[in-house]
């Protein structure tokens, strides 16, 4: 039955290959059946694996890198962590594939789109099923590639093309850290399999563990869009909206959390690294939430919201609650992809992403409105919805470990509720601003949304089973809190969320326009000018420096020296040619002088 | 005539030839002077042939060959120069100036 | 067999001399056939190759000129791979020229065929004398290829190229003559030379002579400035072979000659060489980033990538050494492919100025797809070939020196910067020139040129063991020879299992 694991990745791989090679020849209809159903098969294979395979099942395929003592195999690993991820990824991907059939229906690049999407599913599944670091890196870069390709899907658009490039390069900066982390781990442990690393994490000295953990975490901040490398994700919204839902909300961007969870024993070996993960996570969560407060582009709000929510996940893992972080990853995958799909539905109907031009869509798009509302309640942490369970789990665990992190987390929860409902009120309430016709999306788009809405509610209720399941990994445990304390914590965060919603209602429904806080608003709207800061700090010096070196050093000095040596030879020749007078007597004279010199030397015995 | 006088005669011939080569401006005379110095060299070699016959004879033959070649090629060249330019002094043909 | 592999193209070139220029179609077909025959011979050799035996196989040895010098060719694992690379790229280079070259076609194909012989000879030669002859012989067709069929500044480029290379190899010739005089059997057979014990002072001089020749060829910073000019001005096929094969000779020279022959001097200069390699990686990448001419960009990217190769070979950790050799093959394929693609673009747009290109993925989707695969292979995306080599080199280097490994790995970021920037400017964005909308699509010939390369990208990236297994033993052998400072095992003179 192990072969099932192979099937999980084989279906989308086949789809990608087939569509790349023959996509142009196939009809849209065929593609729209083929591509989603392959991902569906992959999901079914994951489901069967979930019920039939034991934890720790390893499917060995073939040796990949084997040089000296480096032995990296192409293999697939099935354990609780990869099971959760594989199910989430293939399930959400399947729904988004279906949705895409409707959303991308008119696009001339239909085949290319589905080829990329299948390729992405394949790479992501490879990432989560890999049993060792280099293989994980294959998937890791593979999803990065697909992200690049899909952000820049409409490559004629300058902004889209630039955004794709930016995403890839920023991720590469993170991958630089990831690679060094792999190298350092290998130098110490001589083995890169997760099972070996995790069981031998004690061999690492705390300092080494810190170094390894931080290097790998740099990779995670790139992929999961955390400070300092989060800047690519808002730009990534240039891609088609289902792509944002799948890659930049539900699956790829959570890979960093998955990686930290996967190597948790290494992180746990170094207290500092774990604290840093928690702090980076929670600060990012807060920071991104503040930016989301003032965005007017519907997808940008959701992008910053994603950054913020992934921050929560890191905070959860960082305070030692791996299963809480993973649980939030799991629920987030549903409600965040739903938010994006619903936003996509709005964009599809109106053709704009600017919320100031929306308003009053509640009547025209009832399904979209209701699923959006459910997702927003889930992300805001309203009891009964999935986000409530996972977020409060993280906050409770944070409270037990570090009150400061908990405090920031709770405030962020309030901000989250505010900006989500600001979005809802600006989009679905009030009077229509600047649009005439809107229509509900076709069933091919609404049905996946409804399914996701269902999971956005119920996925929270399985929390106990979820934690129990992940404990099968052996290194995942939650701290127990007193029930009374837990109730107080829940009360605080829920009331903050309700306040957030209330304020949003008061500002955007009662007052119908936002406040202008002057400089604070400008700083937030300018996204704290981080992009500009990086531009001045890295991009400009590199560009200008390279230009200057190219002009003055490469062309000037090095090539100057090369051409200079040529010139010296030529000038020397010219000087010597002055001896060539054309007069035979002069030649005779030189000859005589030479003979005399030679004779003198010979007589003196010097020759 | 003893050996030394032969050598003295050879040196004189050689020196005369060299002097002629440098002092005269007429190409033909310069050529002749060069031949004279060559004959001086031959004379010296002939003297050495008394003690060292093989090498000296080889040298003589080599020089004779050079002289013959000189006469053939150089004389012909001078003749051409005269025909083209009307005279043949050392400054008639400068073209090789660098 | 190996002699046939080397000399078939040259024989074809001689035959072509008697064909009238007007029969262009015949000349093209004929040269394509005869430049691809060595590939089949090479594949046949690959089948018969015994990967467990580290010394040269398929040895052919014949009395040649006196003084102990033989005609002596053969191939160990490393040579075999490089021979295959040569025989693989050469027919592609021939095929890529069918439309590109319009003038003096007969001479052109003759030159290409001669070049192929020269290149194959360098990798197959088993003694220094023969090596040197092929090494220099290959310059001549290259000189004409750039000088006659090159771009606007072809004369400047070709003179620079030839003089640069000559300066290096002349010093090497002096070294070879010295080795010939001092070696007891005057055979200059590589494996006999390895057992020679050369006094340290002499080693330093000889090493400098050899290293200069090879460093220019590689090229290592700061000997690289001939490369951008030569690449830019050469016709497509010239650039492909220059980048794909000629540059490998520098690395090959280091690992086969300069390092094992003069291990003492090599150890002495090792820190400087490593620094040069790392500077090449970063410097090449930075320079590539600011070029306007796509070909120049790729040329500088070669400097950067070859820096990776050299770093791996210099550091003599088995992983980095294997990675370095593997990276040579990768670079040959991916940079060769980049030049082929830029050549195809140039045939259509008549410009390589990236400021004037843009949005070409719209009219040329297939070309864009091939370019993106190639770009990602060159960036070192896992799953494609480039990653395997880079990963091994960086990992091996990191184990030897953390600083070296870390700085070198910066290349991972920088290569993405310049290559994606190039792709962005050429293929993406709005179509700059409306006339570009009507550019002819990729034809079958062009697709057939690119397809095998792309297949190899994947094959080498997903199952590198197939290729590495072939040269693993030879690489370990060469590395160990280099490592054993003075105590050299005496090696069977004849060499060759079969």
Subunits in contact with chain B (3 or more CB pairs closer than 8 Å): A
Residues 63-122 of chain A whose Cβ lies under 8 A from any Cβ of chain C: 63-68, 70, 74
Verify whether the Cβ–Cβ distance C388 to A65 is below 8 Å: yes
Min Cα separation C308/chain A (Å): 15
Q: Which of A579, A586, A588, A589 to mutate to test the interface with B (most CBs of B within 10 A)?
A: A588
Q: Do chains A and C touch (3 or more CB pairs under 8 A)?
A: yes
Chain A contact partners (≥3 CB pairs within 8 A): B, C
User: Is any Cβ of chain B less than 8 angstroms from the Cβ of A582?
Assistant: yes
pLDDT at C485: 56
B36-94 pLDDT, tens digit each: 988 998 888 888 888 888 888 888 899 889 888 888 898 898 888 888 888 878 777 77
Q: Which residues in chain C are closer than 8 Å to A184, comparing Cβ atoms?
A: 398, 402
Residues of B in contact with A578 (CB under 8 A): 98
Q: Which residue of C has its CA nearest to A168?
A: C416
Q: Does A541 touch chain C (CB under 8 A)?
A: no
Report pLDDT digits (tens) over A114-132: 999 999 999 999 999 999 9
Residue A348 has pLDDT above 80, yes or no: yes
pLDDT of A591 reads 87
Choose from A570, A572, A575, A582 for mutation: most chain B CBs within 10 A.
A582
How sure is the predictor about A518, in pLDDT bands with cuts at 50, 70 and 90? confident
Q: Shortest CB distance from C416 goes to which of A138, A169, A542?
A: A169
The pLDDT score that the predictor gives to residue A466 is 85
Q: A277-298, pLDDT tens digit by residue?
A: 999 999 999 999 999 988 889 9
**Confidence grade of residue A512 (pLDDT, cut at 50, 70, 90):** low
How many other CB atoms sit within 10 Å of the CB of residue A283? Answer: 18
Nearest neighbour of A67 by CB, restricted to C289, C322, C383: C322
A172 with C359: Cβ contact below 8 A: no
Of A172-176, A401-405, A460-464, least confident by mean pLDDT is: A460-464
Which among C246, C346, C203, C231 has a CA at the least distance from the CA of C298?
Answer: C231
pLDDT bracket for residue A94 (50, 70, 90): very high
Is residue A575 less than 8 Å (CB to CB) from chain B? no
The pLDDT of residue C487? 40
Worst-scoring range by mean pLDDT, A392-406, A578-592, C427-441? A578-592
Q: What's the mean pLDDT when you consider all of chain A? A: 89
- pLDDT score at A101: 92
On chain C, the residues whose CB falls within 8 A of the CB of A161 are 424, 428-429
Residue C107 vs residues A128, C20, C120, C149, C371: alpha-carbon distances, Å: 57, 11, 20, 10, 31
pLDDT given at position C496: 35
Which residue among C410, C427, C468 sits closest to A67, beta carbon to beta carbon?
Answer: C468
Mean pLDDT across A485-494: 87
Burial class (CB in 10 A: 0-12, 13-18, 19+), C177: middle
Asked if the Cβ–Cβ distance from A165 to C464 is below 8 Å, we say no
- Chain C touched by A242 (CB under 8 Å): no
pLDDT < 70 regions, chain C: 67, 485-498
Q: Which residue on chain A is closest to B95 by alpha carbon?
A: A582
Nearest-neighbour CA in chain A from C283: distance (Å): 9
Tell me how many residue pairs between chain A and chain C have CB atoms under 8 A apart.
137
CB contact under 8 A, B98 and A582: yes
Reported confidence tier of residue A340, pLDDT bands at 50, 70, 90: very high
Per-residue tokens: B58: 């080889």
CB contact under 8 A, B90 and A583: yes
Range A486-500 average pLDDT: 89
- What DSSP designation does A104 have? T
Q: What average pLDDT does the segment A482-493 reach?
A: 86
Q: What is the mean pLDDT of residues A469-481?
A: 80
| Cβ–Cβ contact B90 with A under 8 A | yes
């Amino acid at each position: 039955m192990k072969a099932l694991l192979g099937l999980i990745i084989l279906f989308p791989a086949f789809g990608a290959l087939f569509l790349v090679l023959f996509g142009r020849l196939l009809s849209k209809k065929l593609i729209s059946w083929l591509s989603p159903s392959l991902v569906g098969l992959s999901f079914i294979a994951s489901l069967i694996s979930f019920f039939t395979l034991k934890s720790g099942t390893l499917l060995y395929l073939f040796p990949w890198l084997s040089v000296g003592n480096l032995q990296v195999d192409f293999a697939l690993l099935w354990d609780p962590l990869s099971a959760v991820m594989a199910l989430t990824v293939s399930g959400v991907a399947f729904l988004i594939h279906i949705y895409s059939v409707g959303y991308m229906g008119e696009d001339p690049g239909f085949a290319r789109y589905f080829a990329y999407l299948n390729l992405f599913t394949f790479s992501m599944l490879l990432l989560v099923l890999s049993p060792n670091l280099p293989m994980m890196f294959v998937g890791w870069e593979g999803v990065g590639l697909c992200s690049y390709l899909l952000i820049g899907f409409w490559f004629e658009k300058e902004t889209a093309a630039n955004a794709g490039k930016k995403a890839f390069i920023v991720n590469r900066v993170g991958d630089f850290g990831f690679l060094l982390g792999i190298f350092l781990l290998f130098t110490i442990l001589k083995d890169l399999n997760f099972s070996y690393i995790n069981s031998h994490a004690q061999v690492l000295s705390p300092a080494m563990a810190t170094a390894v953990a931080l290097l790998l975490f740099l990779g995670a901040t790139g992929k999961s869009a955390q400070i300092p490398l989060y800047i690519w994700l808002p730009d990534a919204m240039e891609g088609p909206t289902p792509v944002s839902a799948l890659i930049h909300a539900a699956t790829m961007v959570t890979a960093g959390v998955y990686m930290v969870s996967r190597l948790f024993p290494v992180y746990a070996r170094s207290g500092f690294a774990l604290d840093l993960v928690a702090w980076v996570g929670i600060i990012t969560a807060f920071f991104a939430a503040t930016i989301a407060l003032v965005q007017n582009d519907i997808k940008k709000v959701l992008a910053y919201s994603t950054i913020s929510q992934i921050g929560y996940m890191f905070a959860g893992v960082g305070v030692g609650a791996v299963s809480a972080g993973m649980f939030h990853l799991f629920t987030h995958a549903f409600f965040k992809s739903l938010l994006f799909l619903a936003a996509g539905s709005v964009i599809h109907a109106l053709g704009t992403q600017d919320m100031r031009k929306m308003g009053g869509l509640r009547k025209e798009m009832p399904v979209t409105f209701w699923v959006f509302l459910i997702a927003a309640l889930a992300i805001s942490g309203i009891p009964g919805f999935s986000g409530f369970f996972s977020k409060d789990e993280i906050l409770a665990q944070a409270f037990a470990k570090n009150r400061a992190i908990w405090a920031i987390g709770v405030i962020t929860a309030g901000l989250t509720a505010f900006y989500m409902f600001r979005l809802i009120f600006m989009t679905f309430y009030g009077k229509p601003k600047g649009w005439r016709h809107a229509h509900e999306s076709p069933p091919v788009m609404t049905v996946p949304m409804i399914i996701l809405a269902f999971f956005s509610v119920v996925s929270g209720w399985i929390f106990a089973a979820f934690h129990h399941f992940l404990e099968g990994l052996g290194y995942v445990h939650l701290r127990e809190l007193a029930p009374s304390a837990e109730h107080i914590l829940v009360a605080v965060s829920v009331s903050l969320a309700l306040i957030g919603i209330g304020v949003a209602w008061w500002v955007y429904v009662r007052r119908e326009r936002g406040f202008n806080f002057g400089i604070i608003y400008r700083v937030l709207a300018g996204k704290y000018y981080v992009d500009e800061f990086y531009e001045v700090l890295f991009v400009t010096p590199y560009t200008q420096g390279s230009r200057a070196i190219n002009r003055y050093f490469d062309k000037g000095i090095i090539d100057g020296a090369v051409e200079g040596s040529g010139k010296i030879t030529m000038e020397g020749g010219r000087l010597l040619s002055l001896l060539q007078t054309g007069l035979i007597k002069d030649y005779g004279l030189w000859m005589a002088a030479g003979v005399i010199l030679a004779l003198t030397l010979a007589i003196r015995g010097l020759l | 005539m003893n050996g030394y006088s032969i050598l003295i005669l050879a040196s004189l011939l050689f020196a005369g030839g060299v002097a002629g080569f440098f002092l005269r401006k007429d190409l033909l005379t310069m050529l002749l002077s060069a031949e004279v110095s060559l004959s001086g060299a031959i004379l010296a070699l002939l003297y050495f042939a008394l003690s060292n016959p093989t090498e000296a004879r080889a040298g003589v033959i080599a020089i004779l060959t050079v002289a013959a070649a000189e006469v053939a090629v150089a004389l012909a060249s001078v003749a051409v120069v005269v025909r083209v330019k009307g005279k043949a002094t050392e400054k008639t043909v400068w073209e090789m100036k660098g | 067999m190996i002699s046939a592999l080397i000399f078939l193209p040259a024989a074809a070139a001689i035959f072509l001399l008697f064909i009238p220029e007007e029969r262009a179609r015949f000349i093209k077909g004929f040269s394509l056939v005869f430049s691809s025959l060595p590939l089949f011979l090479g594949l046949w050799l690959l089948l018969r190759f015994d990967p467990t035996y580290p010394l040269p196989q398929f040895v052919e040895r014949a009395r040649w000129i006196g003084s102990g010098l033989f005609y002596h060719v053969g191939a160990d694992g490393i040579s075999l791979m490089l021979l295959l690379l040569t025989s693989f790229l050469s027919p592609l280079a021939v095929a890529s020229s069918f439309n590109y070259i319009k003038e003096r076609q007969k001479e052109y194909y003759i030159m290409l065929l001669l070049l192929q012989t020269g290149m194959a000879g360098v990798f197959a030669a088993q003694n220094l004398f023969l090596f040197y002859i092929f090494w220099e012989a290959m310059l001549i067709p290259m000189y004409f290829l750039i000088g006659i069929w090159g771009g606007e500044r072809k004369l400047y480029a070709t003179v620079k190229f030839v003089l640069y290379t000559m300066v290096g190899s002349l010093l090497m010739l002096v070294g070879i003559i010295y080795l010939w005089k001092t070696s007891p059997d005057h055979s200059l057979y590589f494996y006999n030379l390895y057992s020679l014990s050369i006094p340290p002072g002499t080693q330093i001089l000889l090493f400098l002579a050899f290293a200069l020749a090879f460093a220019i060829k590689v090229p290592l910073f700061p000997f690289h400035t001939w490369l951008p000019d030569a690449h830019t001005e050469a016709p497509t096929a010239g650039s492909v072979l220059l980048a794909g094969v000629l540059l490998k000779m520098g690395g090959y020279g280091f690992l086969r000659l300069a390092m094992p022959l003069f291990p003492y001097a090599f150890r002495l200069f090792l820190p400087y060489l490593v620094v040069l390699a790392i500077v090449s990686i970063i410097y090449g990448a930075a320079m590539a980033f600011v070029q306007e001419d796509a070909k120049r960009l790729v040329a500088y990217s070669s400097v950067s990538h070859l820096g990776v190769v050299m770093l791996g070979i210099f550091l003599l950790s088995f992983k980095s050494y294997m990675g370095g050799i593997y990276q040579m093959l990768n670079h040959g394929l991916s940079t060769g492919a980049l030049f082929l693609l830029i050549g195809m673009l140039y045939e259509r747009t008549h410009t390589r100025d990236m400021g004037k290109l843009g949005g070409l993925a719209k009219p040329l989707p297939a070309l864009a797809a091939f370019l993106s695969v190639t770009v990602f292979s060159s960036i070192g995306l896992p799953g494609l070939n480039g990653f395997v080599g880079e990963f091994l080199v960086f990992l091996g280097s990191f184990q030897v020196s953390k600083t070296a490994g870390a700085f070198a790995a910066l290349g991972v970021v920088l290569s993405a910067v310049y290559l994606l920037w190039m792709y962005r400017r050429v293929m993406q964005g709005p179509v700059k020139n409306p006339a570009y909308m009507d550019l002819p699509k990729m034809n079958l010939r062009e697709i057939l040129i690119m397809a095998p390369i792309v297949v190899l990208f994947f094959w080498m990236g997903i199952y590198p063991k197939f290729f590495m297994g072939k040269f693993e033993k030879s690489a370990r052998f060469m590395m160990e020879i280099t490592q054993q400072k003075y105590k050299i095992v005496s090696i069977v003179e004849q060499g060759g299992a079969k």
